[in-house]
Structure 1
């Protein structure tokens, strides 16, 4: 993103050409792999704003280092996860903000994808985006991680992981991740005192449904629901890429903090804690406090 003629497009296959261009304000990396190898670090050190699709780094230590560098250089560092900007997720955020679900009791998230042969680590491959989504929706960070895994293919890492995250509010998140299932599936349920929301991101069943509880006072009285009925929301087309780019441009053009990048670092730290618990055969791992989020982002408590 430069200040030269907006109609002119220049091409290069050398990162140094971008970093030495004083008219260039920002560099976007299409994956964590491309941002690695010191490239994101070099971009920030060259006073470029940086956008990374996916986690900003492969370890929380490296991510924290990038956040610190961005803060010292006065640059913006953002991570773009399309899953956080899907229409169903944005609608679910609005339901939570309005208190439609009531007090959140627990969250259940499952994700499965067929991976042939010696594929990537299931926690990193499937867990990182799932954890990021849960933390984004709850607006909070867990204090404890517990995970157990099974390796059915004889690899040195699990193919299936069952895990849970405990929060200081009493909310608990249950995770099920598998790289052996025959089909790709992604489903998240948030169970509250007044309603349960179910977000299905599977290719064949994309949508968001709301299941009100009959004892919920007043909120759904105007809806003629049959016993056990539910509300299924009509969602617009996925516009997550445009929204992610717009958010990055807005951050570059206006003063702001690095909360997005710090939350991304916290997500990596949670996945690392799950990995340690899994390696320890389910021993609980305490998660150190990370970024403090604004009070209005904490959506529910359970006594």
Structure 2
């Protein structure tokens, strides 16, 4: 038996993704799911049937006004992330907020400031940083097994879900921006992005973005909800090895390629100095757990222990800064924007 009382938690937003968050938090030991908040009556009715012990409400203020509530989970549409997270932190609650945590860097900075002022844990749902396949490759990078990481590129495309409050880049890119920051481990210096809106005026359905980092490293992102394929793939190119993470694959989620180009400085011409190396392809065994469960468990542990979450407010702020620069570049048809 635990020697501390259960963590009392409330969630606002029980939609497509929010239902998964609710399920995982409800299943954690030493967590009491106290409140579920949503504007849709049918959604609240479904929550009441599945979790009869949970109080349901249309009023977000009910969560803020509950003095016994420890933490708030925010899984609404993006424009509501900042005002709700701000209000929750001001009410003294710990906050888990879905990505992106805000729409502007100024808003994100405000949330970081509030969390630090009130000594509250602020965590952002950058899910891939808790994904066992991505953690496996991150460990390879830290151990130097890929050599120097030169660049990475990602594809996150599908047919749907089409949103109205954000474009495809805002909806899909935060995942891969967080991965790029973690894997390249350099300061981003500029962003260039291009895209087009085909289904709704002013809301890009497809976007291509390049993020430039210090030391010449770069990341290229392709995001779309108007595509015939379902692809969730990140390719990391290093000086010794290359890694491909394919989250659509059911089992073989990581492939390591022992490939590269080696140089011999003693040669006087480039052709003679470069040797193509093509070795084995290795598919490692990775013990998979649901990434969302690992993410939710991490938040609860951080609230209990006072630890800084792996994807804390400052990590969320770094991603929002890149998002903001990319959106400015989109509006200027690919102009390079300093970060």
Shorter-chain TM-score above 0.5: yes
Residue 317 of structure 2 is matched in structure 1 by 265
Q: Give yes or no for contact 2:145–2:241 (8 Å, CA) kept in 1.
A: yes
Pair 166,116 (structure 1): closer, same or farther in 2 beyond 3 Å: closer
Residue 160 of structure 2 is matched in structure 1 by 115
Residue 284 of structure 1 is matched in structure 2 by 336
Give CA deviations for 1:60-101 in whole Å, capped at 9, x if unaligned.
222211111111111111112222211110101110011000
Unaligned runs of 5+ in 1: 217-225, 288-303
Residue 169 of structure 1 is matched in structure 2 by 215
Distance in 2 between the 1:30 and 1:44 partners?
Answer: 15
Residue 254 of structure 1 is matched in structure 2 by 305
Pair 147,98 (structure 1): closer, same or farther in 2 beyond 3 Å: same
Unaligned runs of 5+ in 2: 1-6, 10-29, 35-53, 263-276
Residue 301 of structure 1 is matched in structure 2 by none
| Greater share of residues in strand | 2
What's the offset of the Cα at 1:161? Answer: 1.9
Residue 52 of structure 1 is matched in structure 2 by 97
Pair 214,160 (structure 1): closer, same or farther in 2 beyond 3 Å: closer
Q: Give yes or no for contact 2:174–2:319 (8 Å, CA) kept in 1.
A: yes
Task: Trace 1:1-303 onto structure 2 (pairs within 5 A).
Answer: 1-2=7-8, 10=34, 11-12=54-55, 13=57, 14-31=59-76, 33=78, 36=81, 38-115=83-160, 120-153=166-199, 155-203=201-249, 207-213=253-259, 228-257=279-308, 260-287=312-339
Number of corresponding residues: 277
Distance in 2 between the 1:92 and 1:117 partners?
Answer: 31
Distance in 1 between the 2:296 and 2:316 partners?
Answer: 17
What's the offset of the Cα at 1:255? Answer: 3.8
Question: Which one scores higher on RCO, CA 8 angstroms, separation ≥ 6?
Answer: 1
What's the offset of the Cα at 1:46? Answer: 1.4
Q: Give yes or no for contact 1:162–1:177 (8 Å, CA) kept in 2.
A: yes
Pair 194,156 (structure 1): closer, same or farther in 2 beyond 3 Å: same
What's the offset of the Cα at 1:55? Answer: 2.2
Instruction: Kindly report the root-mean-square deviation, in angstroms, between the aligned alpha carbons of the 2 structures.
Output: 2.9
Pair 174,103 (structure 1): closer, same or farther in 2 beyond 3 Å: same
Distance in 2 between the 1:246 and 1:154 partners?
Answer: 38
Distance in 2 between the 1:193 and 1:75 partners?
Answer: 41
Distance in 2 between the 1:214 and 1:256 partners?
Answer: 40
